[in-house]
A and B are shown apart, each in its own frame.
With several copies, the nearest count.
Chain A
Amino acid sequence: MPQTLKNTMTFSDEQSMLLDTATGFFRDKSTSADVRNLIDSARGYDDAVWQEMVALGWSGLAIPEDFGGSGLGLAAAVAIAEPMGRHLAASPFLSTQLFVQGVLAGGSDEQKGQYLPAVAEGSVGTVALFEEDGNWDLLSAQAQLKVAGDRFTLTGVKTFVTDAEVATHYLVAATLAGEPALAIIAESELPAAALSRETVIDETRRSYRLAIDAVDVAGTSVIRGDQARKALAAIRDAALLLISAESAGGIAGVLEVIVEYLNTRSAFGRKIGSYQGLKHPTVDILIGLERARSHVYHAASLLDAGEDAEAALRMAKAEASSSYAFAGDRAIQFHGGFGFTYECDAQLYLRRALWSQYAFGDAAHHRKHLAALLLD
């Protein structure tokens, strides 16, 4: 029932410092020129920057201290993701966080001990969830895990596997005896040519198709039953949170680009920002930004407090996705002719907005789930 929606909003001094640090970090390390240079690189990100992030402890932010992390929790990762989105920064941070959350929520202690310390030290992990039908439901994998003695074989085609080329481990969603399951696959276990690069709308992303046929999986590398469901839910939660945070940052970034142009460019003898036809929709973008950020930090606060955050996360994703897509679209238009050129940064944001919208469910998808949660 809608009445039970809370308005929890907590933000610790520690998180505040992290946000300040990360904001400065990405402003410096991810200029528009950096972003454009990386588009043409194979890896898509600057490894030196990534190593600095690792050195700052950000890759292990959400990993408990027992497993080599700093135990700040997933909410703290928002303070990294938001400025990353604002400055269109590329790194395997998000992919890795999703891997971490999956292992943390569903993995055994052995599995956690095996994979998480390496991640805290900079290894890249990723998740392979989606398939060709573009379905966002994480429990409907067609990929099959089959029992073969005390081992398993994994067969299937996964898509939108981000940063797969640089990952050392993959959490692959599959179906095992009709039930959801996850296999943890090491890079070394993949046959040659299992990965092929996909062409996606956001040129700052690296996305891969993973096609495997009867790859051998050790029993100790499988997560199944309720543990698999928990892991998938945790991955979804983390994805919704961090993509929404990135999107909120993206709205702030594109808003800055728009405002700068509206204050610079003149037409018909006046600065174009003085025309209400541009000014008022720009205010709508600001309002979308404020609402999106509020949803994001609220959802993070609930997760921090260990409370049920499903509705809050879906709301955050719905608001952030649609507001970002609107902002990106208007950014092109409001830049006029320049906005139509590859040279204008507006397109970088629009591309990322569309990527973010179609990752892990668009606004309409989440509203449908919210209707079931809140109206029935």
Chain B
Amino acid sequence: MDEFRAEVAAWLRENRPPEPDFLMPESFMEVGTDAQFNYLRDWQRRVFEAGYLGMTWPKEYGGGGQPQVMQDIVNIEMARQNVPFMPNTIGLNWAGPLILAIGTEAEKQKYIRGILSAEDIWCQGFSEPDNGSDLAAASTRAVRDGDEYVLNGSKIWTSLGTYAKYMILLARTNPDAASRYAGLSYFLAPMDVAGVEVQPIRKITGEYGFTQTFFRDARVPVDCLMGKEGEGWKIAMQTLTFERGASGGQAGGLSMVAVSAADVVELARSAMRDGRPAIEDPLIRDQLIGFLVEEQGDRLCGARARIPALCSERPGAIPMSGKLRGTEFRRRLCQFAISLQGANGARWVGDAHAYADGLWQRSYFNAFSATIGGGTSQVQANIVGERVLGLPKD
């Protein structure tokens, strides 16, 4: 193991791409320019070709067929060396695991390798403009017409919408179904068909990254349907479990720029408050330790989740709360990092004298994409309260 770790570490040191001359996005949700996209796609391809991605996935589809511990070592080493993240997050963490879990042999053959190599970028079409976190209210229609489904409607918060070849899409095939859940179906939909239009959305940071996707009589082949008609909700929920931190299945690699409490400790050493390094201020020290304790607690939760005897009462507690814990932690950590900078906390990306080029300010703003996207923190808290604790629904 130590030998493998050393090998990975050496490979990463030798192969990490040069620092780009543009501002790096923080996650796949922030990829807003061609330069950013191409840089990251090239990097994912090289990691895959080196055998460091999809290490647990079956060999016959392009994976490594190795134990999870190998991928863990790679992931940890990547985080430690702070190398760029993998842009094909939806493919690696959602679509890929899903296809491997319930897809047909043909689907596995068709999609898995392209996901790993970043040849085929995936995006996600769950949210709609009028429905936010209430995915079951999806109103995008899919009407069967011979060998095709005809799509009409709109999806929003589509990351990488401009670059994606496929979308995992939740659409309504039967508006008259017994329940609103029963009328939904799940598609692995191609994006390169007529009638699909992608429009960039400007974020609070001023940058781009998300898109809104419009379907106007877009026709996709019937074999894009995953499972059966009416199984869309069930499959979508299964997909979200991958996101929500349930272990297993994901292809590995970083999916965002790691921001850790240790980085903020380093900032506190250099940033000045009231004429002294922030780290000398007893209040700052107390808060820094608070963040370290919280972060370490979450990390240890990850370790404990692998020991069933220590999770027997509520096996879902750690995985189901992962998104809520992680995203809110990041938001608060970034907010705090700004406060270390004294008057300079008011600077922004692009100012010559901003600490760390204003990235903490941008990270704070970008942090909301994760406390909102994929189910707001409020919805996440409901999910944990209802599914893990068994509390009544709203």
Contacts and interface: CB of A to CB of B under 8 A. Distances in A.
A87 to B, nearest CB: 14
Contact of A342 (B203, B282, B303, B385): B203
A206 to B, nearest CB: 13
A298 B300 contact: yes
Interface in B288-333: 288-290, 292-294, 296-304, 306-307, 309-310, 313-314, 317-318, 321, 324-325, 331
B372 A336 contact: yes
A59 B290 CA distance: 35
Contacts of B157: 337
20 contacts: A9-B306, A133-B272, A133-B342, A135-B342, A140-B275, A263-B391, A274-B394, A276-B378, A283-B324, A290-B297, A290-B318, A292-B297, A294-B304, A319-B293, A342-B204, A344-B204, A350-B365, A354-B345, A368-B285, A371-B285
Given A200-B346, A371-B288, A333 B376 contact: yes
Contacts of B369: 340
Contacts of A207: 346
Contact of B289 (A140, A286, A355, A371): A371
A88 B115 CA distance: 46
Interface stretch (B38-46, B233-241, B353-361): B353-361
Contacts of B131: 267
Contacts, number: 274
A160 B343 contact: yes
B350 A160 contact: no
Contacts of B385: 273, 279-280, 282-283
Nearest to B349: A199
A291 B381 contact: no
B381 A279 contact: yes
Contacts of B373: 337, 340
B287 to A, nearest CB: 9
Band of interface residues on B = 35 or more
B288 A277 contact: no
Given A273-B391, A278-B378, A347-B204, A329 B317 contact: no
B279 interface: yes
B204 A3 contact: no
Interface stretch (A41-49, A50-58, A172-180, A359-367): A359-367
B348 A358 contact: no
Contact of A286 (B275, B279, B310, B317): B317
Contacts of A282: 385, 389, 391
Interface of B: 127, 131-134, 137, 156-157, 201-204, 206, 210, 261-262, 265, 268, 271-275, 279, 282-283, 285-286, 288-290, 292-294, 296-304, 306-307, 309-310, 313-314, 317-318, 321, 324-325, 331, 335, 338-339, 341-351, 353-354, 358, 361, 365, 368-369, 371-373, 376-378, 381-382, 384-386, 388-394
A358 B343 contact: yes
The dominant DSSP class at the B interface is helix
A274 B393 CA distance: 5
A254 interface: no
Contacts of A200: 346-348, 351
Given A2-B265, A315-B293, A354-B345, 6 more contacts: A9-B300, A159-B343, A198-B353, A201-B345, A295-B300, A329-B331
A175 B297 CA distance: 37
